[in-house]
A and B are shown apart, each in its own frame.
Chain A
């Protein structure tokens, strides 16, 4: 498939102006989590269900050929004709020939993402065969000449007024923008098509190897029409939909409707094993005849994924789109921007890479901000952000980084002295724009970056130059602790670094700051540059380990994660692999470590009546490190009155470079966060991640100046007497 070069920035700014879309997605993203939770109320333990689905799919993909062979054999035994299509062209050729042979002139289609993927309808129309989408949303989108923007709700981006226009044009009569009326108009129009069609094409939600059955879940009943009325039924099913046994369908059905549309079950769930009778008119009389049933199993890149150690995970996808419904980026701009040819969102990026190619993946993959919210709802527990990162790495290995980035990473970031020297220079260069510790205005083309948020200024004196003053001599220290600050605390929030020292020393620990530490490598690996990341990893391991610490403390979840991942990164290196593994065992996130130590000393209890504080869960703190209780306990131990904000664990929109590069997209996400903070009435917004501090502090400064942003360490340190 040819890849056109997209102008993503332009697409984003246009979409952000689309009030209909913003409104629809905004309301949906508010309603979905509540509706989903309610749908699962009577389903038993949700994690048990997700694990069962995941395991069933993992076992299936491990023997996908065997399962496919059995499916083919059983379906054939029951009278269906099975065709394995390697590519989209194979499907088209097979179908056009079949239509010719059987005299098919009119086709009705129910929903099939696989057919969207290969542009089937367009091809059939070109071949002179009338092809009608019958799912209401798909029909609307087809009339609009568009693509679905959501896997489950294809037309969510359109308003009733827009739909009325498309209907009026198609039906050549004035259709009012009344939803019930339009639905009836569609029923009437499409009913005729069902009754007159020679062939029905459906997708499948699952295919059962045990008896060759396909399963369909629909609400409108169109799939039942498509599979019942015409004399020929063609199923297009991707390999990933195959499951071994009839009972495995229960595993899917417990989950799919609940996750997709927050229904306990869709209106219709139909399973078809082999052809069933159809009524055909012969010489003016209705007679019962055995239907013709064709099943096309589509590969189109799926089997390559099935045999890839990492990407076989995409077989765990049941196309429920829950991941889109909670994605901070998708719910702002929708699937036409955050999506490829067919599939939207993060999962769409991965599917696109395999089903349409890396060229298309490259065009929009940056929109995954790695917040991992999707991983908390995905029924198959797919590590969507992790797979995207892996694809980025492979893409860089294959094609290399863009020149400027490559130069920056290889020559600047990986050279600590030069990198830190530049940061120091920046502290001087920013002076004209700086007001206090924040940059409030930027010249011309950079203005968008500081429009609704102030950017933090680089501190005059970085943490590394303050150590001499803050370091205390500890008698008989209980632990020797090395502090890995990360660039942001070192150069932007050195006071937070001082707080960390204060808290550790107060615990009678010896705190050290190795000068040789550098960037943790996260911004570099996020763009796929493994080699530079390895260089940084070795440098940090050397700097931290030569201090011979008992514990390595990190006050930023992303840096913590990076340090812990060095072992995986360097696993093939006989010298550094074991060192990285040894170091990972000592790495501790600040809050969880301090909470544990406070607990031991009886200091982790609620005290006093201090300021009202609300806590923001950083994405990587909560969903990678799984730490959410400890920072709250610490805040209460420090005397704060904790007030929970809405969506405390929703991304603030920073996400490393994303927040700067896609400032216009990052701002509405930040605005939601600021609004949620405002609603709590808290005086202080606390978090435990320096990246989030940059973003939220900037937003507060511009939009809610009465509220201060603090790291948990700062709040703890304030309670400690010098």
Chain B
């Protein structure tokens, strides 16, 4: 049985998608308190991440690799910065709750809502997305579809089993006096690093 993140690209529309939708995506994502950093190259993606790491003075990171992260050498960069990095499921299970930062890749973005779509079948990915206070995701900036309907055109052809979903900004609540409060159970910060350059091997 095939897993969504291995086959979704086959169903990603060549027409009706692309970086031209990025400005709308960025505007919508920022409107729901996501932080968006668009960079031209893998090298600059690494710098953007390091700035975030420095900003929160991260000591401990839990990471699930993705092609964009590998191209940017994220894990090595973190380690050389003195950050303890866990990449194995067992270690992530043990440390995600106390990590300062979680890093993972997402499949594509949705301009209509500012959401990102992620295959979370892998347990490590799901732990990373919910437990640390800062979640950083890597996104190819051309991988944007116009709306929910188009997203489901892809999903309906590539989601057979497992766990997939949208993430739209950080965790939030308005349950006390309808006052919007960020970061209740999940991350209080959600950052998207969008890279224009395709990773080597160019499977995008």
Residue ranges of A at the interface with B (Cβ–Cβ < 8 Å): 24, 27-28, 42-43, 78, 134-137, 140, 153-156, 158-160, 163, 179-180, 182-184, 186-187, 190-191, 194-195, 210-211, 213, 219-222, 224-225, 227-228, 245-247, 249-250, 253-254, 261, 263-274, 276-279, 281, 285-288
Most buried by A among B91, B155, B169, B173: B173
Given A190-B185, A211-B159, A254-B148: 12 more A-B contacts, CB < 8 Å: A210-B156, A219-B173, A221-B130, A246-B155, A246-B156, A250-B152, A264-B112, A265-B114, A271-B159, A271-B163, A276-B120, A278-B123
CA distance A452 to B153 in the complex (A): 57
**Inter-chain contacts of A219 with B (CB < 8 A):** 171-174
Q: How far is the CB of B164 from chain A (nearest CB, A)?
A: 5
The reply to whether the CB of B142 lies closer than 8 angstroms to some CB of chain A is no
Q: How far is the CB of B175 from chain A (nearest CB, A)?
A: 4
**Inter-chain contacts of A288 with B (CB < 8 A):** 89-90, 123
Is there an interface contact between B178 and A267, defined as CB atoms closer than 8 Å? Answer: no
Contact of B163 among A158, A220, A265, A276 (CB under 8 A): A276
Q: How far is the CB of A27 from chain B (nearest CB, A)?
A: 8
Contact of B94 among A182, A213, A254, A286 (CB under 8 A): A286
Report how many residues on chain B are interfacial, defined by Cβ distance under 8 Å: 56
**Inter-chain contacts of B115 with A (CB < 8 A):** 265, 269
Is there an interface contact between B159 and A268, defined as CB atoms closer than 8 Å? Answer: no
Residue ranges of B at the interface with A (Cβ–Cβ < 8 Å): 28, 32, 89-94, 97, 110, 112-115, 120-123, 126-127, 129-130, 148-149, 151-153, 155-156, 159-179, 181, 183-187
Closest to B181 in A: A183
CA distance A195 to B177 in the complex (A): 28
Is there an interface contact between B185 and A287, defined as CB atoms closer than 8 Å? Answer: no
CA distance A190 to B32 in the complex (A): 24
Contact of B90 among A137, A163, A276, A285 (CB under 8 A): A285
CA distance A261 to B173 in the complex (A): 11
Q: How far is the CB of A26 from chain B (nearest CB, A)?
A: 12
CA distance A267 to B135 in the complex (A): 13
Is there an interface contact between A187 and B159, defined as CB atoms closer than 8 Å? Answer: no
Q: How far is the CB of B176 from chain A (nearest CB, A)?
A: 5
Q: How far is the CB of B51 from chain A (nearest CB, A)?
A: 24
Is there an interface contact between A183 and B184, defined as CB atoms closer than 8 Å? Answer: yes
Is there an interface contact between B177 and A247, defined as CB atoms closer than 8 Å? Answer: no
**Inter-chain contacts of A271 with B (CB < 8 A):** 155, 159, 163-165
**Inter-chain contacts of B185 with A (CB < 8 A):** 134, 187, 190-191, 194, 220-222, 224-225
Is there an interface contact between B165 and A287, defined as CB atoms closer than 8 Å? Answer: no
Closest to A227 in B: B163
Q: How far is the CB of A210 from chain B (nearest CB, A)?
A: 8
**Inter-chain contacts of B91 with A (CB < 8 A):** 286
CA distance A27 to B177 in the complex (A): 10
Is there an interface contact between A265 and B166, defined as CB atoms closer than 8 Å? Answer: yes
**Inter-chain contacts of A224 with B (CB < 8 A):** 126, 129-130, 165, 185-186
CA distance A225 to B97 in the complex (A): 12
Is there an interface contact between A155 and B176, defined as CB atoms closer than 8 Å? Answer: yes
Is there an interface contact between B176 and A220, defined as CB atoms closer than 8 Å? Answer: no
CA distance A276 to B119 in the complex (A): 12
Q: How far is the CB of B132 from chain A (nearest CB, A)?
A: 12
Q: How far is the CB of B177 from chain A (nearest CB, A)?
A: 5
14 contacting pairs across A/B (C-beta < 8 A): A27-B178, A42-B112, A78-B161, A160-B176, A183-B183, A194-B185, A210-B156, A219-B173, A250-B148, A264-B113, A265-B110, A267-B172, A279-B92, A285-B90
Is there an interface contact between A186 and B165, defined as CB atoms closer than 8 Å? Answer: no
Is there an interface contact between A153 and B186, defined as CB atoms closer than 8 Å? Answer: no
**Inter-chain contacts of A156 with B (CB < 8 A):** 178
CA distance A444 to B179 in the complex (A): 44
CA distance A311 to B192 in the complex (A): 46
CA distance A634 to B91 in the complex (A): 76
